[in-house]
Structures are given as C-alpha cells and as structure tokens.
Structure 1
Amino acid sequence: MKRVALVSPYTLPFYCGNSFLAERLKQGFGRRGFDVSLFSSSQDSPDEVISCAPDILHSLNAERPYDWLARVWERYTGPWIITLTGTDYNSWCGVTDPPARIKEALEAADRLVVFHDEALETLRKCLPSIFHKINVIPQGVAPYAGLSERTELRIREGFGKEDICFLMVASVRPVKNISSAIGAFRELRKEVPSARLLLIGPALDDEEAERVLSLGGRTAGFAYLGEKTPREVRAYMKAADIFLNVSLNEGMPGAVLEAMTEGLPVLASDVTGNRALITHEENGLLFTSGNKEALVRNAARLARDRTLREELGRRGQKSVMARHSIDHELDGYESLYEDLLRQRKPRSRTFREAAVTG
C-alpha cells in the first residue's frame, strides 16, 4: 500500500479552499487503497511526517507551509509534489521576481501542479527553469445529495418572494476584494431594491474583517453569516439566485465550481482562475476587475432576467460536470504519484541545496 503524506496550511474543521482540497484528496485516495496521512502545517509537528514514513510527500500551497516543510526535508528523501493554489503565485508572477522562499520550494520539488493552462503559461514566463515539471490537474467537484428545499431556507433567512439573493462564499482577506462588492451592491440597490447580498466565509485578516463588517453594517440588504459547513454552503447556493466572485486573483475557486455544480449562475471578476471556469455570456458573466459600473450593470441584468439566470446556470452546471469530476482529478494525481515512484531517486540534499541545484 502506497503511503502519502498530505500537507496543507489549513485542514478541516477550518473551512477554506486548501482544507477542502486536502480533505477531498485524502478521502478520494483512501477509497483507492492509498494510506493517506493529512497534516496541518499550522497545527501538527513535522516529526509526524517522518514517523509515517511516506512514499510520497504532497503539499498544498508553495508559500505557507515553507518553514514547516524545510524541517521535514532535512530527514525525508522521497519525491515531493507541490500543488500551487493561487495566492502563492498570483501576487508576484508577471509583476516581480518570486520571493526567495517560494522560488526555493518550486525548484526543490520534483513535480508542481497548477489548476489550469493559464497558470502554466504564466509560470513558464516567470520561471522557465521549472516549466518541465509543471502538470495541469483541474480541481474536482461533486453535487451534494439531500439538500434542504430552496424555499425553506429562503423563508428562514427572511427573504421576500421577489427578493433576488446574491451569494458570496469567500474568506475575508484583501485578495477577495469584498469591500468593493459591498460598495457596488449599494449602487445596485438603487436600481434593484429587492436585492440581497449574503457573505459566507471565515475571517482570515483582522483588518479586512473590520473594514468589511463596518461597511456591511451600514449597508441595507447585506448580511455576513460567518463560517458554514460545506453542506450548509451548498444549501445556500441552492437557495440563492446569483453567485458573486470579485476576487483580485484566483487559483481555481472551489466556491465558483460548487455554485456552478448547483446550477447557480455566476458573475465573476475577469481574472485568472475565474477565466478557467467561465466563458463570458456562455456559462456565466465576467466583468473587468475594479470596474464598479460593469459589475453593477451585469448584476442588475441578471437580477432582472430570470430566463438568463436559468440558462447560464444550466450551461455552467453542464460545463463543470463535464470537465471537473473528482475521478478525473484523482486520476491526474495518481498518475503523477506512480510516475514519481517508478523513477524514485533517494536524496541526501538539504532543502536549500535542492533548490539551488534543481
């Protein structure tokens, strides 16, 4: 039985994209006969990785677990895979040189995984030396069964029959750009008084959370619901009318994937990650990031046109179910694991030495 040590900066019960991906891989490979141990780089000890004697080390995010993994690397000689999740490359790639710690990690790893072709091309231009070891494996998603009825939740939240609910599912931090969404929502309410905006997600940045809650508290129709379980999030998606993503950048947003899986039409910023999932006017709507007028215009259009909402929701659901199955995601990683194990070469280098020599 192959042993995999899966390392994530966040794990359940903390709800965010990294923790959901980690849990999905753990459960999926467990069903396929792998012995998977999941570690949180913010909670567990690196010694535990060494104790489980993994055949494969697989970490999520190239930046956050860096110091933790450097301690593992001192005693681990097997192959290492990094899945880049978005914020670990979007903040610098194409703008400046990579931070030294990220560059070291990317050069030391045996294989790198990104979620879409645009990320592959972006990294190729920024760091051509690592291009040969980058693999594209899209995120997977599956529908939830047995969710509560749409009407039941809308009644519980106090929605009127004609209310149009916009839903955001995002951690509260600057890159998610939530304050701009609330500002645009204020303008939208002048045109569509029945609009409501719900925000679900953990507060990861205290200053941003204070800013969002202060602005939201002065905005009619807005409510912050805090963290919700994955099942609860899907229930809100089923009850909402439009899903909203205004991020400044994305890897491949799991919440957008989930919303599309539930048939919810998506209005999203035209940034990498969102573009990998949405083609404007075909299976969702995109607006230029930072263009409040475009955001308000498209939001009003969706709010007023039920037929458009239903058609985009149907097309979005169809595209996601065709391209983003969990089995396809697991197949990609399993093939990568097997390839590395076939050509396994023991190491005796330190973390920094591996990065320097490649």
Structure 2
Amino acid sequence: MAATDGSRPLRIAIVSPYDFAYPGGVTNHISGLSDELRQRGHDVTIVAPSSRPRDDIDADNLAVIGRPIPVPTAGSIARVTLSLTLGKRVKPLLERGNFDVVHLHEPMTPTLPLTFLRLADGPALVGTFHAYAERRRALGLSRPLLQRWVQRLDERIAVTEPAREFANRYFPGSYSIIPNGVDTQAFAQAAPFPMFRDGKLNILFQGRMEKRKGFPHMLRAYAHIRWQFPNCRLLVVGPGNMDRESARVIGERGLEDVHFIGYASNDDLPRYYRTADIFCSPALGNESMGIVLIQAMAAGRAVVASDIAGHRSVVAHEHNGLLADPRNEEVFASTLIRLLRDAELRNTIANTGSETVARYHWGVVTDEILQVYHSALERRSQRSGSGRDATAPTAELTAS
C-alpha cells in the first residue's frame, strides 16, 4: 500500500470516458489538471479513448484505450467507448503503472471508468462527478447495477453544488465540491484580435453546436438587438455544424454581422474572449457549472447567461453577471442591450467577475484535489490494515 506522505510525488492515472481528441469541458479539465500536477513533480498518465491516432494529440502522457462512438444523451452527444473488452488493455496498464491514485472522471459512465473500478484493487480510487440534469432515466434504471461499483470509490468530488445534488440523488454519499480549473492568467493576458476591435461592440458565443447550448435562441435575441443597437456583431466560436433551426433563423431574419469562427485552439480561445465586450451563454439546461462563464470573467468581460442551476452556481445576478431566460427572446435581448448601452455597468460587472475567478485558479483547485488524493490514500490504507476487502462497501457509504 502506498504511503500517504503529502511531500512525496504520486503516481496518478486520470481516466476519462470521453474522446480525448474532441474538445469538451471534462477533457480540458483533465488536461489542465495533468499539467499542474506534473509541474509539481507528480507522475501522471491520462487514460481515455480517442478517435484520432495517439501521435496526433498534443498530450505526451496519454494512453489511448478504446475507440469512441457518438451516443446521444441529455441534449448532447457523448463520445464514449462502449467496448466490453477493455479489461485486456486496462489490467496490464494498472500493473505497469503501479499507481498510487486512479482518478476517474464521470466514474459511472461506460465503459472505461467502470472497467478501472472493476480491476483497480491496489490504488486509491477517486471519482469526480461533472454532470447535472433535471433527471436521467437511464441512470435511474442502471443504479442497482452501478451501486456496487460506486462504493469502491475512496473519495468523491463534485464540481458544483448542482452536480453534487445530481450525483447524490442516485449515489448517496459524501462529496467534496471542487470546481473545474481555469488558466486565469492566460485569459487575463491574451491579446484581442485587432480586426474585430473596430468600434463595433462584440458579443461572443462560445460552445459546441448542440441543442442544449441554445444557439438558435442566441440568434433570435440578436435579431432584436440589431434593430435597436446595430453597432454590434456576434462572434460564434466552437466546434460542430450549424443546425437547420439556426440557419433558418439567420435566413428569415436577414441577420448580418454573424461571424462563424469554428474551433479555436487553446492559444486562440482566450484571445476571442478578450476580443469580446460581452460574453453570452444561452444554454438551456444540463450544465453543471458553465466553465465558459469563468473563462469570460477571467478575461475581464461582462457575462449574460441563462438562468439555470449550473449558471447560478457561478453567477450572482446583478453582481458578477446578468441572468435571463433565453427562451424569451425579447427579455434576453433587452438584457444584452442594457449592457451594450451602459459601458459603466459592463465594467462594473466585469470587474466583479474578475474577483470571482480566484476560486477557479489552477493552483487553488489542484491544492484541493491533492488533499482529496491523500485522504483517499489514507482511507484505502485503513481498509487494507483492517483486513477488509477494498471492494466492499464502507460503513459510511452503506449508512448513507
């Protein structure tokens, strides 16, 4: 059993169920956490499926296991591997890696994290729960089967209070709340793109082209904005193809000054935030926190967001952002127009948001995650010392 001395480097496996070649919140969080841990001297291996060859991905510590397929879920597309034969790859990796800690992100998502839960007997097991939804029928139906495996976790993390409430609904237990991290310095110091700093005010939408991100509602609101405040443009950053509804809105309303950037690299993304005057997230739900809001605040930009649980975990209305219902296009538009017309209010909200982001700095987040790692190591050591099977439920989890 590994020692729990906080001063010594750890051997850590960070496991993701999601396609590591496709951008997303969990993938970005894992990459940032891995970088920070390695800078502190820890030995980190990222394990994830990938739709692209290992050599095409900018992560020299990535072990690719499984080929992902797109699976519709909760208004989004989860790119996960559903192979039932991953154990043939996972077991040798566990033996070679001799890990102190296996950190599973979305540990109940098939099938890679569950395979690690089944086979990892020695390391301390930590699970981070990112997801939030009003309800998820499939998870409720599979709960009796998954309960056996979730009880193997030595420690659990939820990225926000809504994520904790969602996970606790299906898997009651104790959760530490530790948010996703952001490279706050990169967003604060990025240089804007000069071609968009021409006197027009820029509204930024950044996200995947998925139904739950609410982009058609953004366009409908923008149509109202253009009538009342024509000196603005909409910048659209993110992967995916525009859906038919969005294309129809643009055509029917004759929208101009909508610039589709597409995917932005890690170097360019902070620059688009800094190019914006206002950041807008019209997401319709199933957001556990909205990391895009923190990125905008780190860039010193005013935020308008939909009034949903995940956003309320970050934004206090009229304090560090404004909240409104994107389904009501006139109200959502008037909220944005209010900021477009009032530079002083934009600056006040942006400055307050800049104070908010300290909580999400990678140094702070990593300190807290390392505390959880060492707590998990201590718990695992106590289980082994008592002679109790590490796969058995603890009294605490059984009682909960």
Q: TM-score, normalised on structure 2?
A: 0.76
Residue number in structure 2 paired with 1:61: 106
> What secondary structure, in the 3-state scheme, does the structure 2 residue paired with 1:273 have?
helix
Q: Is the contact between residue 108 and residue 150 of structure 2 (CA under 8 Å) also seen in structure 1?
A: no
Q: Distance in 2 between matches of 1:215 and 1:106?
A: 45
> What secondary structure, in the 3-state scheme, does the structure 1 residue paired with 2:357 have?
helix
Letter in 1 for 2:239: P
Residue number in structure 2 paired with 1:194: 231
Residue in structure 2 matching 1:248, options 284, 287, 292: 284
1:140–1:191 Cα change, 3 Å: same
Q: Does 2:31 align with 1:23?
A: yes
Measured against aligned partners, the alpha-carbon deviations of 1:8-50 in whole angstroms (never above 9, x if no partner) come to 2346653221121001110111122221101113452252542
Q: What is the 5 A alignment of 1:32-71?
A: 32-42=40-50, 44-45=64-65, 46=86, 47=89, 49-50=93-94, 51-62=96-107, 64=109, 66-71=110-115
Equivalent residues, number: 339
Residue in structure 1 matching 2:256, options 220, 226, 233: 220
Q: Distance in 1 between matches of 2:365 and 2:246?
A: 35
Residue number in structure 2 paired with 1:267: 304
Q: Is the contact between residue 4 and residue 37 of structure 1 (CA under 8 Å) also seen in structure 2?
A: yes
Residue in structure 1 matching 2:142, options 86, 100, 104: 100
1:291–1:149 Cα change, 3 Å: same
Residue in structure 1 matching 2:220, options 176, 183, 186: 183
Task: Structure 2 unaligned segments of length 5 or more: list them.
Answer: 1-8, 52-63, 66-85
Residue in structure 1 matching 2:120, options 51, 54, 76: 76
Letter in 2 for 1:117: E
> What secondary structure, in the 3-state scheme, does the structure 1 residue paired with 2:300 have?
coil
Per the TM alignment, residue 145 of structure 1 is displaced from its structure 2 partner at its CA by 7.4
Q: Does 2:329 align with 1:292?
A: yes
**Higher alpha-carbon deviation: 337-346 or 70-79:** 70-79
> What secondary structure, in the 3-state scheme, does the structure 2 residue paired with 1:37 have?
strand
Letter in 2 for 1:187: H
Residue number in structure 2 paired with 1:234: 270
**Higher alpha-carbon deviation: 290-299 or 111-120:** 111-120
> What secondary structure, in the 3-state scheme, does the structure 2 residue paired with 1:231 have?
coil
Residue number in structure 2 paired with 1:112: 156
1:81–1:146 Cα change, 3 Å: closer
Q: Is the contact between residue 216 and residue 249 of structure 2 (CA under 8 Å) also seen in structure 1?
A: yes
Measured against aligned partners, the alpha-carbon deviations of 1:275-299 in whole angstroms (never above 9, x if no partner) come to 1111111111111352322211101
Q: Is the contact between residue 129 and residue 167 of structure 2 (CA under 8 Å) also seen in structure 1?
A: no
1:85–1:209 Cα change, 3 Å: farther
**Higher alpha-carbon deviation: 219-228 or 240-249:** 219-228
Q: Is the contact between residue 107 and residue 113 of structure 2 (CA under 8 Å) also seen in structure 1?
A: no
The percent of aligned pairs where both chains have the same amino acid is 22
**Higher alpha-carbon deviation: 53-62 or 164-173:** 53-62
Per the TM alignment, residue 313 of structure 1 is displaced from its structure 2 partner at its CA by 0.6
1:42–1:232 Cα change, 3 Å: same
Q: TM-score, normalised on structure 1?
A: 0.84
Letter in 2 for 1:165: N
Residue number in structure 2 paired with 1:85: 130
Per the TM alignment, residue 69 of structure 1 is displaced from its structure 2 partner at its CA by 2.5
Measured against aligned partners, the alpha-carbon deviations of 1:81-126 in whole angstroms (never above 9, x if no partner) come to 221223xx32516x896351695464553322112234334544x2
Residue number in structure 2 paired with 1:341: 377
Per the TM alignment, residue 62 of structure 1 is displaced from its structure 2 partner at its CA by 4.2
Q: What is the 5 A alignment of 1:116-155?
A: 116-124=160-168, 126-127=169-170, 130-132=172-174, 134-141=175-182, 142-144=184-186, 149-150=191-192, 153-155=193-195
1:216–1:109 Cα change, 3 Å: farther
Letter in 2 for 1:55: D
**Higher alpha-carbon deviation: 18-27 or 213-222:** 213-222
Q: Is the contact between residue 107 and residue 130 of structure 1 (CA under 8 Å) also seen in structure 2?
A: no
1:22–1:149 Cα change, 3 Å: closer
**How much is the aligned-residue C-alpha RMSD, in angstroms?**
3.0
Q: Distance in 2 between matches of 1:242 and 1:324?
A: 20
1:146–1:116 Cα change, 3 Å: closer
Q: Does 2:327 align with 1:283?
A: no
Letter in 2 for 1:41: P
